[in-house]
Structure 1
Amino acid sequence: MKYKPRETTEAIVGGMTGTLAASRTLLLARYDAGGDLQYVGRTTTLPAAASSTIAPLLTAASGEHPWTGWTFSAGWGSRETLDVTLVQPDVVGEVGVDVARDSADRWRHPVVRCHRPRPDLSPADIPRITPRWRGGLR
Protein backbone atom coordinates (compact mmCIF):
# COMPACT_ATOMS: atom_id res chain seq x y z
CA MET A 1 0.00 0.00 0.00
CA LYS A 2 1.20 3.51 -0.79
CA TYR A 3 0.72 6.10 1.94
CA LYS A 4 1.09 9.83 1.26
CA PRO A 5 1.51 11.84 4.45
CA ARG A 6 -0.36 15.14 4.53
CA GLU A 7 -0.15 18.19 6.73
CA THR A 8 -2.13 21.33 7.34
CA THR A 9 -0.26 24.59 6.87
CA GLU A 10 -0.79 28.17 5.81
CA ALA A 11 0.01 30.02 2.59
CA ILE A 12 -0.52 33.46 1.12
CA VAL A 13 -3.03 33.89 -1.71
CA GLY A 14 -1.23 35.61 -4.60
CA GLY A 15 -3.69 34.93 -7.41
CA MET A 16 -6.82 33.06 -8.36
CA THR A 17 -8.76 31.64 -11.25
CA GLY A 18 -12.43 32.31 -11.78
CA THR A 19 -13.83 35.69 -10.84
CA LEU A 20 -13.34 37.82 -7.75
CA ALA A 21 -16.96 37.07 -6.85
CA ALA A 22 -16.54 33.32 -7.35
CA SER A 23 -12.97 32.06 -7.01
CA ARG A 24 -12.36 28.70 -8.67
CA THR A 25 -8.78 27.92 -7.52
CA LEU A 26 -6.18 29.81 -5.50
CA LEU A 27 -2.53 30.35 -6.45
CA LEU A 28 -0.53 30.11 -3.27
CA ALA A 29 2.73 31.69 -2.21
CA ARG A 30 5.29 32.14 0.51
CA TYR A 31 8.09 34.66 0.81
CA ASP A 32 11.67 33.50 0.37
CA ALA A 33 14.63 34.59 2.50
CA GLY A 34 15.17 37.60 0.22
CA GLY A 35 11.59 38.83 0.67
CA ASP A 36 10.37 37.82 -2.81
CA LEU A 37 6.90 36.31 -3.17
CA GLN A 38 7.37 32.80 -4.58
CA TYR A 39 4.68 30.56 -6.06
CA VAL A 40 4.36 27.30 -4.09
CA GLY A 41 1.22 25.65 -5.48
CA ARG A 42 -2.40 25.84 -6.56
CA THR A 43 -5.48 24.53 -4.83
CA THR A 44 -7.90 22.05 -6.27
CA THR A 45 -11.25 23.46 -7.38
CA LEU A 46 -12.82 25.20 -4.42
CA PRO A 47 -16.16 23.93 -3.13
CA ALA A 48 -18.90 26.58 -3.36
CA ALA A 49 -18.82 27.19 0.41
CA ALA A 50 -15.05 27.79 0.45
CA SER A 51 -15.26 30.06 -2.59
CA SER A 52 -18.01 32.18 -1.08
CA THR A 53 -16.02 32.48 2.17
CA ILE A 54 -12.68 33.53 0.68
CA ALA A 55 -13.83 35.51 -2.41
CA PRO A 56 -14.93 38.62 -0.46
CA LEU A 57 -11.48 38.80 1.18
CA LEU A 58 -9.60 38.99 -2.14
CA THR A 59 -8.78 42.28 -3.86
CA ALA A 60 -7.46 42.54 -7.38
CA ALA A 61 -3.84 43.65 -7.44
CA SER A 62 -3.44 47.32 -8.11
CA GLY A 63 -0.24 48.48 -9.72
CA GLU A 64 2.76 46.21 -9.78
CA HIS A 65 2.41 42.67 -8.42
CA PRO A 66 5.44 40.38 -7.87
CA TRP A 67 4.00 37.97 -10.44
CA THR A 68 3.17 40.51 -13.15
CA GLY A 69 4.05 38.97 -16.51
CA TRP A 70 4.14 35.40 -15.21
CA THR A 71 2.17 32.62 -16.89
CA PHE A 72 0.84 29.62 -15.01
CA SER A 73 0.41 26.18 -16.55
CA ALA A 74 -3.01 24.55 -16.41
CA GLY A 75 -1.34 21.29 -15.41
CA TRP A 76 1.92 19.39 -15.30
CA GLY A 77 3.20 18.89 -18.84
CA SER A 78 0.40 21.04 -20.29
CA ARG A 79 0.99 23.89 -22.74
CA GLU A 80 -2.36 25.41 -21.82
CA THR A 81 -2.08 28.44 -19.55
CA LEU A 82 -4.44 29.49 -16.80
CA ASP A 83 -6.48 32.69 -16.94
CA VAL A 84 -5.27 34.16 -13.64
CA THR A 85 -6.29 37.24 -11.70
CA LEU A 86 -3.47 38.48 -9.49
CA VAL A 87 -4.62 39.61 -6.05
CA GLN A 88 -3.13 41.68 -3.28
CA PRO A 89 -0.96 39.16 -1.36
CA ASP A 90 -2.50 40.00 2.01
CA VAL A 91 -4.87 37.05 2.57
CA VAL A 92 -3.66 33.92 4.34
CA GLY A 93 -5.39 30.58 3.95
CA GLU A 94 -5.09 27.26 5.71
CA VAL A 95 -4.47 24.42 3.27
CA GLY A 96 -4.00 20.67 3.38
CA VAL A 97 -0.96 19.50 1.40
CA ASP A 98 1.08 16.41 0.65
CA VAL A 99 4.37 16.85 2.50
CA ALA A 100 6.50 16.18 -0.62
CA ARG A 101 8.25 19.33 -1.87
CA ASP A 102 10.59 20.02 -4.75
CA SER A 103 14.02 21.63 -4.50
CA ALA A 104 12.50 25.16 -4.55
CA ASP A 105 10.16 24.21 -1.64
CA ARG A 106 7.01 24.12 -3.81
CA TRP A 107 4.43 21.44 -3.09
CA ARG A 108 5.19 18.64 -5.55
CA HIS A 109 1.73 17.14 -5.78
CA PRO A 110 -1.18 19.16 -7.13
CA VAL A 111 -3.71 18.09 -4.51
CA VAL A 112 -3.70 21.20 -2.30
CA ARG A 113 -7.02 21.60 -0.53
CA CYS A 114 -8.20 24.92 0.80
CA HIS A 115 -9.60 24.56 4.32
CA ARG A 116 -10.37 28.11 5.38
CA PRO A 117 -9.15 31.70 5.39
CA ARG A 118 -7.00 32.73 8.34
CA PRO A 119 -7.82 36.42 9.00
CA ASP A 120 -6.00 36.08 12.34
CA LEU A 121 -2.68 35.70 10.47
CA SER A 122 -0.77 38.11 8.27
CA PRO A 123 1.64 37.17 5.46
CA ALA A 124 4.51 38.00 7.84
CA ASP A 125 3.38 35.12 10.10
CA ILE A 126 3.83 32.51 7.37
CA PRO A 127 7.10 30.51 7.35
CA ARG A 128 9.49 31.50 4.60
CA ILE A 129 10.43 28.93 2.00
CA THR A 130 13.85 27.37 2.22
CA PRO A 131 15.29 25.94 -1.00
CA ARG A 132 16.96 22.58 -0.62
CA TRP A 133 19.80 23.15 -3.07
CA ARG A 134 22.66 25.58 -3.25
CA GLY A 135 22.28 28.54 -5.54
CA GLY A 136 18.94 29.86 -4.29
CA LEU A 137 15.65 30.01 -6.10
CA ARG A 138 16.55 31.67 -9.38
Structure 2
Amino acid sequence: MRETTEAIVGAVTGPLAAPSSLLLGRYDDGRLQYTGRTTTLAQAASSTVAGLLAPAWRGHSWTGWSFSAGWGSRETLDVTLVEPELVMEVGVDVARDASGRWRHPARLHRPRPDLSPADAPLWTSPPH
Protein backbone atom coordinates (compact mmCIF):
# COMPACT_ATOMS: atom_id res chain seq x y z
CA MET A 1 0.00 0.00 0.00
CA ARG A 2 1.37 3.43 -0.97
CA GLU A 3 0.57 7.01 -0.03
CA THR A 4 1.59 10.42 -1.34
CA THR A 5 3.31 12.79 1.07
CA GLU A 6 5.93 15.52 1.31
CA ALA A 7 9.50 15.41 2.56
CA ILE A 8 12.51 17.72 2.53
CA VAL A 9 15.65 17.07 0.49
CA GLY A 10 18.65 16.95 2.84
CA ALA A 11 21.28 15.33 0.60
CA VAL A 12 21.82 13.80 -2.82
CA THR A 13 23.81 10.94 -4.28
CA GLY A 14 25.78 11.76 -7.39
CA PRO A 15 26.90 15.25 -8.35
CA LEU A 16 24.87 18.24 -7.20
CA ALA A 17 24.47 19.31 -10.84
CA ALA A 18 22.95 15.92 -11.76
CA PRO A 19 21.71 14.07 -8.65
CA SER A 20 21.11 10.33 -8.90
CA SER A 21 18.80 10.05 -5.87
CA LEU A 22 17.54 12.27 -3.07
CA LEU A 23 17.88 11.64 0.66
CA LEU A 24 14.74 12.87 2.37
CA GLY A 25 13.89 14.02 5.85
CA ARG A 26 11.38 15.65 8.14
CA TYR A 27 11.89 17.94 11.10
CA ASP A 28 11.68 16.90 14.74
CA ASP A 29 12.46 19.55 17.39
CA GLY A 30 14.39 21.65 14.86
CA ARG A 31 16.58 18.79 13.58
CA LEU A 32 16.15 17.16 10.20
CA GLN A 33 15.57 13.42 10.69
CA TYR A 34 16.34 11.02 7.83
CA THR A 35 13.20 9.28 6.54
CA GLY A 36 14.47 7.54 3.40
CA ARG A 37 15.63 8.07 -0.14
CA THR A 38 14.16 8.10 -3.60
CA THR A 39 14.55 5.61 -6.39
CA THR A 40 17.08 6.58 -9.07
CA LEU A 41 15.97 9.78 -10.76
CA ALA A 42 15.19 9.94 -14.46
CA GLN A 43 17.40 12.40 -16.36
CA ALA A 44 14.62 14.99 -16.75
CA ALA A 45 13.78 14.85 -13.03
CA SER A 46 17.46 15.07 -12.11
CA SER A 47 17.89 18.21 -14.23
CA THR A 48 14.78 19.83 -12.76
CA VAL A 49 15.76 19.11 -9.16
CA ALA A 50 19.40 20.15 -9.66
CA GLY A 51 18.31 23.70 -10.43
CA LEU A 52 16.44 23.90 -7.13
CA LEU A 53 19.22 22.70 -4.80
CA ALA A 54 21.94 24.63 -2.96
CA PRO A 55 25.03 23.26 -1.19
CA ALA A 56 24.64 22.94 2.58
CA TRP A 57 25.85 25.62 4.95
CA ARG A 58 27.59 24.78 8.19
CA GLY A 59 25.53 23.16 10.89
CA HIS A 60 23.52 20.76 8.70
CA SER A 61 21.70 18.20 10.88
CA TRP A 62 23.33 15.33 8.95
CA THR A 63 26.95 16.47 9.17
CA GLY A 64 29.07 13.41 10.00
CA TRP A 65 26.30 10.90 9.26
CA SER A 66 26.76 7.88 7.01
CA PHE A 67 23.92 6.36 5.03
CA SER A 68 23.56 2.68 4.14
CA ALA A 69 23.48 1.78 0.44
CA GLY A 70 20.65 -0.68 1.11
CA TRP A 71 18.81 -2.93 3.51
CA GLY A 72 21.37 -5.12 5.32
CA SER A 73 24.29 -3.61 3.37
CA ARG A 74 27.50 -2.44 5.02
CA GLU A 75 28.30 -0.29 2.01
CA THR A 76 27.71 3.42 2.56
CA LEU A 77 26.48 6.00 0.10
CA ASP A 78 28.63 8.88 -1.10
CA VAL A 79 26.34 11.86 -0.45
CA THR A 80 26.45 15.62 -0.83
CA LEU A 81 24.55 17.56 1.82
CA VAL A 82 22.23 20.30 0.55
CA GLU A 83 20.42 23.15 2.25
CA PRO A 84 17.17 21.56 3.52
CA GLU A 85 14.93 24.03 1.68
CA LEU A 86 13.34 21.99 -1.10
CA VAL A 87 10.12 20.10 -0.40
CA MET A 88 9.31 17.14 -2.67
CA GLU A 89 6.06 15.27 -3.17
CA VAL A 90 6.81 11.55 -3.11
CA GLY A 91 4.98 8.25 -3.16
CA VAL A 92 5.99 5.98 -0.30
CA ASP A 93 5.16 2.50 0.88
CA VAL A 94 3.37 2.67 4.22
CA ALA A 95 5.80 0.02 5.59
CA ARG A 96 8.30 1.49 8.06
CA ASP A 97 11.40 0.02 9.67
CA ALA A 98 11.98 -0.08 13.44
CA SER A 99 13.35 3.49 13.33
CA GLY A 100 10.24 4.81 11.57
CA ARG A 101 11.99 5.28 8.21
CA TRP A 102 10.39 4.29 4.93
CA ARG A 103 11.34 0.69 4.29
CA HIS A 104 11.32 1.05 0.49
CA PRO A 105 12.63 3.87 -1.72
CA ALA A 106 10.25 6.76 -2.34
CA ARG A 107 9.04 7.50 -5.85
CA LEU A 108 9.52 11.10 -6.85
CA HIS A 109 6.33 12.83 -7.97
CA ARG A 110 7.34 16.49 -8.19
CA PRO A 111 9.18 19.34 -6.52
CA ARG A 112 7.00 21.59 -4.35
CA PRO A 113 8.73 25.00 -4.46
CA ASP A 114 5.37 26.46 -3.38
CA LEU A 115 5.87 24.84 0.06
CA SER A 116 8.43 25.72 2.72
CA PRO A 117 10.06 23.07 4.92
CA ALA A 118 7.69 24.22 7.69
CA ASP A 119 4.78 23.01 5.51
CA ALA A 120 6.11 19.44 5.32
CA PRO A 121 4.77 16.89 7.80
CA LEU A 122 6.81 16.55 11.00
CA TRP A 123 8.84 13.45 11.85
CA THR A 124 6.84 10.92 13.81
CA SER A 125 8.79 8.32 15.68
CA PRO A 126 7.51 4.75 15.64
CA PRO A 127 5.24 3.52 18.44
CA HIS A 128 7.00 1.42 21.10
Give TM-score scaled by structure 2 length: 0.94
Whether the 8 Å CA contact 1:103–1:131 is kept in 2: the answer is: no
2:120 matched residue in structure 1: 126
Letter in structure 1 aligned against 2:119: D
- State the alpha-carbon separation in 2 of the partners of residues 12 and 132 from structure 1: 19
2:14 matched residue in structure 1: 18
- State the alpha-carbon separation in 2 of the partners of residues 56 and 65 from structure 1: 20
1:8 matched residue in structure 2: 4
- State the alpha-carbon separation in 2 of the partners of residues 89 and 69 from structure 1: 16
Indicate the RMSD between aligned Cα atoms, in angstroms.
Answer: 1.2
Report the Cα offset of residue 103 of structure 1.
Answer: 4.2
1:78 matched residue in structure 2: 73
Q: Which runs of 5+ in 2 are unaligned?
A: none
Write the mapping of 1:1-138 to structure 2, written as runs, cut at 5 A.
5-32=1-28, 34-109=29-104, 111-133=105-127
Report the Cα offset of residue 36 of structure 1.
Answer: 1.5
Identity of aligned residues (%): 70
Give TM-score scaled by structure 1 length: 0.88
Paired residues in the alignment total 128
Q: Which runs of 5+ in 1 are unaligned?
A: none
Report the Cα offset of residue 100 of structure 1.
Answer: 1.4
Structure 1 stretches of 4+ with a deviation exceeding 6 A read none
Kindly name which structure, 1 or 2, has the bigger radius of gyration based on alpha carbons: 1
- State the alpha-carbon separation in 1 of the partners of residues 69 and 95 from structure 2: 20
Report the Cα offset of residue 102 of structure 1.
Answer: 3.0
